[in-house]
A and B are shown apart, each in its own frame.
Chain A
Amino acid sequence: MTEALSRKSEAMSSTTDGSAARRGWRLPDEAGILIMLIVVFAIFCAMSPNMRTLSNGLVLLLNGAVIGLLALGQTFVLLIGGIDLSTGANIAVMGVLVSLLMAHGLVWPLAILVTLLAGTAMGIVNGIIIQYFRVPPFIVTFSTMGVASSMALIITGANSISITQSGFAFMGQGLLAGIPVPVVILAVMAILAGLLLSKTILGTHIYATGGNREAARLAGVNLAVTTITVYAISGFCASLGGIVDTARLMVGFPTTGLGDELFFSIAAAVIGGVSLFGGIGRVQGAMIGAVLIAVVSDGMNVLNVSSYWQSLVIGVIVLIAVIFDTYRRQRAGKPLSGTLRSLFRTHMFRRSS
């Protein structure tokens, strides 16, 4: 059946070959999700005047910042065809770690630095196990998720740790030119990540690894370096998320990040067009996905919808995105509109037969 599908798409591609000989600008793959974001936002605005205020907009982004950071790291991992389930637990450990370091007298900038290094190291451990022991990433990061969340509880004895160094609050509560610092951090990180992926050798190698691992190896891509690096980046982003979360509350909770964060971060990347199969997707998309999730959460809050509904709504959106991604994969390299068309066509046929 899949053979028949691929043969069909091959036949299609050969017929389009002639017409595809022009270069030129085409609609980016993220256009669809951007339109969806605008529509959803407009609907919420129409339903509630509170939604339309600038301050609500900033709160919305502030609340979405940590998920955005996780989604950023997750994007790198998904691009090589992996997955990192340990990011939520990473937040908990790193939040506790940064609090403990400060409680033991380390000045806060130094505590942040050590925590970032620790988060990166955790990612490197994930990457090394995945690369050299050939364990599937799902299993490895599933295990380290368990280890990390337990570690946070063991270290603290399940107690929260208050933070006394008031300077640290800047990381979570500060403003830069009127914009919350976490949002600024996310924006800077997103730009750096986007440049890394589009401008550097490493970025190209990440896409190549996810596109066809074996072909990338034959072309001389160092798979060990790309694999370990993406998990390190994911670990770094998660620890940054842990620092921001802790700074917003000025308390290190051993259970932060163990709720919906992991789910929402993967959701953001996937909704934004990052393929779960690797090789396709951009930072821009993941960020739009993160904002969409933030808008849905915030909008439902403003409309007084029970928060129990949030995961349900986002789950449905993710399902739609993944079904779409699966179709796109079968038609690798075809433009978005064609994917949509084939999606509909297949189902029309199925119904008629």
Chain B
Amino acid sequence: MAVERLVAQGIVKRYGAATVLHGVGFTLHAGAVHGLVGHNGAGKSTLLKILAGAVAPEAGTILLDGSPVSFVSPSAAVAAGVACVFQELSLLENLTVTQNLFLAREIATAGVLDKTAMRTAARQHLSAYGLGLSGDEKVAGLPVAQRQMIEIIGALARNARVILLDEPTTALERAQIDRLVETLRRIAREQNVAIVIVDHKLDEIFAVCDHVTSLMDGRVVLDAPIAGLSRDALAESIIGQQEAARLHKQPGAGGSVPTATPSIARAIPKAEPILAVRGIGASRGLRDVTFDLASGEVLGLYGLAGSGRSRLLRTLYGLEPVDQGRMQLRGRPYRPHSPRAAMRAGVAFVSEERKANGFIPDFDAVRNCTLPILGRHAWAGVIRKQEAAQEAESVLQRLRVRGNIHAPLVRLSGGNQQKTLLAKAVLQRPAVLLLDEPTKGIDVGTKAEIHAFIRNLAAASGVAVLVVSTEEEELLAICDAVMIMQRGHCSGQRCPVDALDDIALRRLALDPAPGPASAPQADHAREGAL
């Protein structure tokens, strides 16, 4: 093929004790689109961040057009010709399209802007890729699809030789995706740049890529030109069936793995559902979500990034509005408009973003725990501190929180912080407990303790637990059954964990599901493929 634009070799990245990339290598060719695929936590995003200079690898070399480079920052990467279009768009909304395109490289004479020259140049770039914009529009008023193209054009205008795109299609509609795919192929060809695209959707990968690299647990498991590659082979590499089959010593794994329809049973909940959700939808991200949650059960929610898992939990906790459908909690209509309303109704929530919104950093563990239950331990607004602290301490002890529970919580380890958040939720004596990634970034020992605690909680006190996790093992370890979420939709079909393993879960979540067992709602997505 064409020249080797970028060659990465032996890239290693560790976060604490966890190794995310074990010596990954791949080659990008000029004028080609390169797909990067893999399941949740396979290391795609980390690899992308390393190429973009946002994260520094522990080992490995990157050759750009034959010469070794090491980027100390994203701006160094951009200067060298590697531009990244992240999921969060980075255009400045308060500036015009032209101003954005020429940001930090304005055309000027003696410090005075040459606006005409910039406008002309901007218009050329914009019309070349079919954006009917004058360049004088404020970015704030433009739709996402156009902003994305402006970012890509901006990268080209900065003489980018490599463009990295992280899930560029998640926020786009069908027609926009087709257009983006077409434009990307054109850009790669005409500008002779190498484009890397991280994507979950196989049809898009087949439509846009020349070459694809599949990662699994930080290792390259497949690296091949798209021509001659079968959809099944690519899907297998993502699901990890061969790898797992070898590990589990199950020669007939392909046959025995439960594939969608046959093994999925709409398990009838043991008790009356405590939370019944019927066809709820929200303008952004959720559509027709239906399920039941019974007292004393632990129900898992699994899906790919962007499938709306967290959004569903946030909606149930009153953090996002509901546009349609209805919910019932303990037989009464339930539609919380704020976290306070949800709490009053008996719902507790442990957020995924521990640092961002999980706790008050300067409060100690006890004070963080008691924050939602102060009303129980106060008279006329005056807190009976001793009494509140005693209740909190007993739960913290049961969870075996180590470290000083009277020091600011920010100083405790992630595991102890997470246990504290769990204690805070339990202290509310909820009927329904919503857990979003309950063991994110936590060591194995603490993880096991938290798992045992959750199981115990459901069994002993009859709390209904809904868990979102990207870790298959976690869901298999603590849940009674798992539901799949795809593109904001959840049908309420439960897969009992006895009939599941991690491969089956991944297969169910992958969109569109391969083979004859594909779920009906995945079909429309396949049409535009080629």
Known A215-B357, A218-B351, A220-B343; contact A204-B412, beta-carbon cutoff 8 A: no
Known A17-B411, A200-B382, A218-B351; contact A211-B361, beta-carbon cutoff 8 A: yes
- How many angstroms from the CA of A223 to the CA of B210 in the assembled complex? 52
A333 and B411 contacting across the interface, CB-CB below 8 Å? yes
Known A211-B362, A216-B371, A219-B424; contact A20-B404, beta-carbon cutoff 8 A: yes
**Chain A interface: which size bin?**
20 to 34
Which residues of chain B (31-75) have a CB below 8 Å from chain A?
none
> What are 17 A-B pairs at a CB distance below 8 A?
A16-B411, A17-B403, A17-B404, A20-B403, A21-B403, A200-B382, A201-B378, A204-B371, A207-B363, A211-B360, A211-B363, A215-B360, A216-B371, A217-B339, A218-B339, A279-B361, A280-B362
Residues of B within 8 A of A159 (CB): none
- How many angstroms from the CA of A218 to the CA of B371 in the assembled complex? 10
Set B338, B357, B378, B404: member contacting A212, Cβ < 8 A: B357
Which residues of chain A (205-248) have a CB below 8 Å from chain B?
205, 207-208, 211-212, 214-222
Closest to B374 in A: A201
**Chain A nearest Cβ from B108, distance in angstroms:** 28
Set B319, B358, B372, B382: member contacting A199, Cβ < 8 A: B382
Secondary structure class of chain B's binding surface, majority of residues = mixed
Residues of B within 8 A of A204 (CB): 367, 371, 374, 383
Set B340, B357, B362: member contacting A220, Cβ < 8 A: B340
Set B361, B378, B412: member contacting A332, Cβ < 8 A: B361
**Chain B nearest Cβ from A234, distance in angstroms:** 19
Task: Flag whether B375 is at the interface (Cβ < 8 A).
Answer: yes
B413 and A333 contacting across the interface, CB-CB below 8 Å? no
Task: Flag whether B407 is at the interface (Cβ < 8 A).
Answer: yes
- How many angstroms from the CA of A215 to the CA of B403 in the assembled complex? 22
Closest to B375 in A: A201
Task: Flag whether B356 is at the interface (Cβ < 8 A).
Answer: yes
Closest to A333 in B: B408
- How many angstroms from the CA of A270 to the CA of B359 in the assembled complex? 25
A279 and B357 contacting across the interface, CB-CB below 8 Å? no
Residues of A within 8 A of B408 (CB): 332-333
Which residues of chain B (83-113) have a CB below 8 Å from chain A?
none
Set A13, A207, A218: member contacting B357, Cβ < 8 A: A218
Closest to B359 in A: A215
Task: Flag whether B406 is at the interface (Cβ < 8 A).
Answer: yes
Which residues of chain A (158-198) have a CB below 8 Å from chain B?
none
Task: Flag whether A334 is at the interface (Cβ < 8 A).
Answer: yes
Residues of B within 8 A of A208 (CB): 360, 363, 371
Among all A-B residue pairs, the 7 with the closest Cβ atoms: A333-B408, A211-B360, A214-B357, A219-B371, A333-B410, A201-B374, A220-B372
A201 and B362 contacting across the interface, CB-CB below 8 Å? no
Known A22-B404, A204-B371, A207-B363; contact A13-B382, beta-carbon cutoff 8 A: no
- How many angstroms from the CA of A204 to the CA of B392 in the assembled complex? 16
Task: Flag whether A202 is at the interface (Cβ < 8 A).
Answer: yes
Per-position 1/0 for B350-389, Cβ under 8 A of A: 0100001111111100011001101100100111010000
